[in-house]
């Protein structure tokens, strides 16, 4: 046997460390890994096959134009979770309401999955990295149809979370609360192989990512922090480098490896922030914290935020711990919560 460990082997080995685990979570993670490979195959064909690029002509619950691949990825992830039998409910960016899975094997399953099937989908038509984000909760009710209480759980209640980045290579990164591990898809054997064991995000970094086109409408704390990033100071390696891909997954994956901060603050167009708490911010916050990073809304830990709506939005400051701490200090000083004003 050669030296590599596949995602499937790794999941089974980890399960063996928990003698009372019955394997449901392992099977759920395996189902997500399989769906990721199918979606990856279609993404890689974008450009070759005419009927997968472009808009469907419909808008999702957020009022955003759906791409054909948004819909494809959504259908495939939900399909894999439905046939896998370990998930009783799916919350997706692409569906206004929850998806109950009511087959005899699934309806009393223990887990609920929240997904952003395709993150950064506006980049798909131009061959730039996109991603998938997932978050797994254990239902609170014991059986029958899961309730809203089952799904509106705080980020601290997540039992697992992960992302797939479809970039120059395809990677799946996940945590079950015991560190973070990354797997790279080897296309020659069609397997995710452990390539980034025990990932740790650097405590400091020199890259900041934010859509500066919205600068005029940023809170003062964010404006001052950006000025700080741009100042000349060789001792602190400033000015920092600005990088903004427009796929949060790709920006945050780069930060995971190189260090950096990603900010999507409140703006005039997005007074609560743009990104969604349940299937974008919470899973990324869980992964970042498990890797030694930090994720807040500028004032409060993302994972502690109350969840009141499926598609709730949040502002996010995420990445290297010391960078996020400093940005929060700017927020406290120049945009104190009680005086938060939008332009």
120 binds ligand AHG (CB under 6 A): yes
Q: Which stretch binds ligand AHG (CB under 6 A): 114-122, 224-232, 301-309, 329-337?
A: 114-122
Closest to 108 measured CA to CA, from 144, 156, 140: 144
Sign of CA dihedral 48, 49, 55, 60: negative
Cα within 13 Å of Cα(7), Cβ side:
29
Q: Is 283 in the site for ligand AHG (CB under 6 A)?
A: no
Q: Tell me if 260 contacts ligand AHG by CB under 6 A.
A: no
Name the burial class of residue 209, with classes exposed (0-12), middle (13-18) and buried (19+) by CB atoms within 10 angstroms of its CB: buried
Q: Does 82 bind ligand AHG (CB under 6 A)?
A: no
Token digits of residue 227: 């000025």
User: Buried b / exposed e across 315-335, counting CB within 10 Å, b at 16+?
Assistant: bbbbbbbbbbebbbebbeeeb
Residue closer to ligand AHG, measured from CB, 83 or 214:
214
In whole angstroms, the minimum distance from the beta carbon of 253 to ligand AHG comes to 11
> Which residue, 269 or 339, is less far from ligand AHG as judged by CB?
269
211 binds, among ligand AHG, Mn ion, none (CB under 5 to 8 A by kind): ligand AHG
The site partner of 246 among Mn ion, ligand AHG, none (C-beta below 5 to 8 Å per kind) is ligand AHG
| Beta-strand relationship, 294-296 and 316-319 | antiparallel
Q: What is the dihedral of CA 324, 163, 158, 60, to 10 degrees?
A: 100
Cβ proximity to Mn ion, 118 vs 307, nearer residue: 118
Rule CB under 6 A: say whether 211 interacts with ligand AHG.
yes
- Collect all residues with Cβ–Cβ distance below 8 Å to 300 and sequence separation of at least 6: none
Does 121 participate in binding ligand AHG (rule CB under 6 A)? yes
Residue 295 CB, nearest approach to ligand AHG (Å)? 14
Told to check if 112 binds ligand AHG by CB under 6 A, we report: no
- Interface residue with ligand AHG among 128, 246, 292, 299 (CB under 6 A) is 246
> Least distance in Å: CB of 212 to Mn ion?
19
Q: How many CB atoms lie within 10 A of CB 230?
A: 12
Tell me, residue by residue from 161 to 200, as one string, x for binding to ligand AHG by CB under 6 A and - for no binding.
Answer: ----------------------------------------
Contact status: 119 vs ligand AHG (CB under 6 A)? yes
Q: Nearest Cα to 248, choosing from 93, 132, 160?
A: 132
64 belongs to the binding site for ligand AHG (CB under 6 A): yes
Among candidate residues 149, 114, 63, 138, the one with its CA nearest the CA of residue 279: 114
- Give the footprint of Mn ion on this chain (CB under 5 A): 93, 116, 118-119
- Which residue ranges make up the site for ligand AHG (CB under 6 A)? 64, 93, 116, 119-121, 211, 246-248, 274
């Amino acid at each position: 046997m050669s030296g590599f460990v596949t995602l499937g082997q790794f999941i089974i080995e980890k399960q063996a460390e928990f003698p009372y685990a019955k394997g449901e979570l392992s099977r759920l993670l395996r189902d997500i890994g399989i769906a990721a490979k199918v979606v990856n195959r279609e993404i890689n064909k974008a450009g070759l096959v005419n009927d997968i690029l472009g808009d469907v002509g419909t808008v999702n619950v957020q009022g955003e134009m759906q791409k054909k691949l948004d819909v494809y990825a959504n259908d495939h992830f939900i399909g894999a979770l439905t046939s896998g039998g370990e998930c009783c409910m799916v919350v997706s960016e692409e569906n206004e309401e929850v998806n109950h899975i009511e087959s005899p094997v699934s309806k009393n399953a223990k887990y609920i999955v929240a997904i952003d099937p395709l993150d950064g989908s506006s980049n798909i038509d131009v061959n730039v990295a996109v991603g998938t984000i997932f978050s797994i909760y254990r239902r609170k009710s014991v059986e029958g149809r899961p309730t809203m209480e089952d799904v509106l759980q705080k980020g601290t209640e997540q039992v697992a979370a992960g992302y797939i980045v479809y970039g120059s290579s395809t990677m799946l990164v996940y945590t079950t609360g015991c560190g973070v591990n990354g797997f790279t898809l080897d296309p020659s054997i069609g397997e995710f192989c452990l390539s980034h064991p025990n990932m740790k995000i650097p405590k400091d970094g020199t890259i900041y990512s934010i859509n500066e086109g919205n600068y005029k409408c940023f809170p003062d704390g964010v404006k001052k922090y950006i000025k700080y990033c741009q100042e000349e100071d060789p001792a602190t390696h400033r000015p920092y480098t600005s990088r903004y891909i427009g796929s949060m997954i790709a920006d945050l994956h780069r930060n995971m490896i190189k260090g950096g901060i990603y900010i999507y603050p409140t703006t005039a167009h997005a007074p609560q922030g743009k990104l969604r708490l349940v299937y974008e911010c919470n899973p990324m916050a869980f992964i970042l914290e498990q890797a030694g990073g930090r994720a807040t809304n500028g004032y409060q830990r993302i994972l502690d935020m109350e969840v009141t709506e499926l598609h709730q939005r949040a502002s996010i400051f995420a990445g290297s711990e010391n960078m996020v701490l400093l940005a929060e200090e700017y927020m406290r000083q120049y945009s104190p919560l009680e005086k938060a004003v939008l332009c």
